[in-house]
């Protein structure tokens, strides 16, 4: 019987030991599962979200505030330009008014130089009321006694207006002159000044009428009667033969009184047509 060699037995034993303790290899399917797994993403922090929302709101408010600030700056610049233009227009209007007043005074002086002496005036007439130009056309005397006029402001103005409507222009002129002496600072003084110009205009005393309207435009330029007074000033100058000057006066209507009533605008258009401006 043959004897076995110990070397083959030792090799076989080693193989059995390695087989018993071998680690199975990771195949392709398992590796694919590991590599294809969804990565871990932490949950959003509520505090961070709240801060981000607040930051977005603040940035939006800042953009709106910047836009409002720029608009306010634009509006302020526009308002400043408008105020400067209005002031320039006011200064020009005042200069034009002063020039017109000087022109009226020059016309009155010229009339005074060419009028007959007081002894040549017709009987039953007298010069105009105090304050009118020397040598002005003679006007009839008032038919009322100044002492009989109402003493209160409202009653006196009402009486003056009634006299004017009745066609008693000299008496209306007297009543209005008394009113302006007593109540020149009252709210209705502008109305009385306008009616004073009317009382002269209806008597064909054009220089005195022009002077009354100039006073209206100078002292009561914000009065609702001022636009009509401007037109009546132009009419007075046209009737004195100063058509060119009348047109210059009418040209101021739009700039000085853009919000004038439709009645005043219609009156101005009629006067322009008569003066052929």
- At 110, the pLDDT band (50, 70, 90 cuts) reads low
Asked if pLDDT for residue 123 goes beyond 50, the answer is no
Q: 243-250 vs 262-275: helix axis angle to the nearest 10?
A: 150
- Cβ(245)–Cβ(172) below 8 Å: no
pLDDT at 29: 55
Return the percentage of the chain with pLDDT > 90, whole number: 45
Q: Does residue 117 sit in helix, strand or coil?
A: coil
Mean pLDDT of the chain: 77
pLDDT tens per residue across span 3-29: 555 555 554 554 455 445 454 554 555
Give me the residue label for tokens 């209306």.
172
* Residue pLDDT, tens place only, 134-187: 334 455 788 888 889 999 999 999 999 999 999 999 999 999 999 999 999 999
**Cα separations (Å) of 126 from 93, 106, 167, 168?**
36, 23, 18, 15
Q: Which residue has the higher pLDDT, 111 or 151?
A: 151
pLDDT of residue 114: 46
Kindly tell me if the per-residue pLDDT of 101 is higher than 80: no
Domains of the chain: 75-113+129-275 (1.25.40.10)
The number of helices, as runs of H, and strands, as runs of E, in the chain is 11, 2
Of 54-63, 80-89, 90-99, 132-141, least confident by mean pLDDT is: 132-141
pLDDT cut 70: percent of the chain above it: 65
- Examine the pLDDT at 89 and tell me if it is beyond 70: no
The pLDDT value recorded for residue 165 is 93
Q: Specify burial of residue 207 (Cβ count, 10 A radius: 0-12, 13-18, 19+).
A: buried
Q: What is the pLDDT of residue 112?
A: 54
Residue 124: pLDDT band with limits 50, 70, 90: very low
**pTM of the full predicted structure?**
0.56
- φ, ψ at 223 (rounded to 5°): -70, 145
d(CA 268, CA 238): 13
Q: Residue 129: which pLDDT band, with cuts at 50, 70 and 90?
A: very low
| Between 30 and 146, the higher pLDDT residue | 146
Tokens of 28: 């392709």
């Amino acid at each position: 019987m043959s004897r076995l060699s110990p070397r083959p037995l030792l090799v076989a034993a080693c193989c059995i030991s390695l087989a018993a303790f071998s680690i199975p290899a990771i195949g392709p399917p398992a590796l694919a599962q590991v590599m294809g797994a969804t990565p871990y993403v932490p949950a959003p922090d509520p505090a961070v979200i709240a801060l981000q929302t607040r930051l977005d709101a603040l940035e939006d408010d800042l953009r709106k505030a910047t836009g409002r600030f720029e608009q306010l700056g634009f509006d302020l610049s526009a308002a400043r330009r408008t105020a400067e233009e209005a002031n320039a227009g006011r200064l020009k209007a005042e200069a034009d008014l002063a020039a017109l007043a000087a022109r009226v005074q020059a016309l009155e002086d010229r009339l005074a130089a060419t009028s007959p002496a007081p002894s040549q005036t017709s009987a039953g007439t007298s010069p105009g009321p105090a304050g009118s130009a020397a040598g002005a056309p003679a006007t009839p005397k008032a038919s009322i006694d100044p002492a009989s006029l109402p003493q209160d402001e409202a009653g006196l103005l009402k009486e003056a207006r009634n006299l004017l409507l009745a066609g008693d222009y000299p008496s209306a002129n007297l009543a209005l002159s008394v009113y302006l002496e007593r109540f020149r600072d009252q709210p209705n003084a502008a109305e009385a000044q306008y009616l004073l110009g009317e009382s002269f205009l209806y008597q064909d005393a054009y220089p005195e009428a022009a002077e009354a309207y100039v006073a209206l435009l100078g002292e009561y330029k914000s009065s609702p009667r001022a636009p009509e007074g401007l037109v009546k000033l132009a009419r007075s100058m046209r009737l004195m033969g100063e058509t060119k000057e009348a047109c210059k006066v009418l040209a101021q209507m739009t700039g000085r009184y853009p919000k004038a009533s439709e009645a005043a605008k219609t009156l101005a258009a009629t006067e322009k047509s008569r003066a052929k401006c």
